[in-house]
Amino acid sequence: MPLLRFDLIEGRSDAELQTLLDAAHRAMLDAFKVPERDRYQIVHEHKPSRLIVEDTGLCIPRTEKVVFLQVTSRPRGREAKETFYRLLAEELEKSCAIAPSDIVVSFIENTDEDWSFGHGRAQFLTGELGAKE
């Protein structure tokens, strides 16, 4: 349970996408110390004209390899988030040749009552999943 939503410019092969998703999962596991099978990832691919990712005036160059990642998660501390940003950049550069300048991440935080993993129940609230990850 973090839910990772990737917005990418279309054109990557299935193998390239799998490598990217695996690299992001490794970063998440290391930064957030979640279980191995705690993996929820969605990929949205866009035509180049449908994904605009600028730099907020920071003069950060972007290429067609740009990755916009939205992480929906229970609250995470500053240190865990900063560790995730760093590890994600390292993993994507090493595994996918994606420059750190092509990675943009945004967090959306929610609480235990905002998650149901099936069967019409909120497993964090029912005790089926621990309150802490």
- Residues noted as catalytic: 2
The closest alpha carbon to 43, from 13, 14, 70, 5, belongs to 5
Q: Given 3-state DSSP classes, what are the helix, strand and coil percentages for the chain, each rounded to the nearest 5?
A: 40, 25, 40
Task: Record the tokens describing residue 65, joined without a space.
Answer: 């390899």
